Amino acid sequence: WPHVLAHLGRFGILLFTLQFTTEKSQMCPSGWQQLVGSCYSFSDERDNWEKANQTCLLKDSHLIVINSEEEQQEYFFKHVNKDYWLGLTDLSQEGQFEWVDGTPYNAAITTWGYGQPDNTDNLEHCVHISALMEYYWNDHQCTVLMHWICER
């Protein structure tokens, strides 16, 4: 390949890029989307946070964990138009947010909506992306039925 590419020049690089992209997309099971290095499944149904969490675990995945600003922008600002549960809760201890996959919660790269998290009525312990808040995050009651995104 490298020898051939040298002769093909820019066209060769294009071919190489196409082949690489194809191989990457084949890493995701059917029905999953390849975006920014992981595979994602956007639910058609709505469910409470715990059921959504369990559904992801049963599919060898976890509720989406936002690890970078790129991921936030790539996904939520361009690909969704609904509210979706994230893999982030403060169920264990109020105000101590934890990602479901053990990723350290880094306040520096969170994307909370204005005034959030506000733990309204001391009942909001599950985090979702909010279409109403232009895809910023909001803590909400875990029993609310909502779409969700699994990541693997």
Residues that bind Ca ion (CB under 5 A): 90, 116, 118-119, 124-125, 138-139
Query: CA 46 to CA 67: how far, in whole Å?
Result: 24
CB of 91 to Ca ion, least distance (A): 8
CB of 108 to Ca ion, least distance (A): 20
CB of 122 to Ca ion, least distance (A): 7
Spatial CA neighbour of 83 closest among 12, 13, 141, 22: 141
| Count of beta carbons in the 10 Å neighbourhood of residue 55 | 17
| Closer Cβ to Ca ion, 2 or 95, answer by number | 95
In the bound state, the residue with its beta carbon closest to Ca ion is: 119
CA 80, 83, 87: angle at the middle one, nearest 5?
95
| Closer Cβ to Ca ion, 40 or 129, answer by number | 129
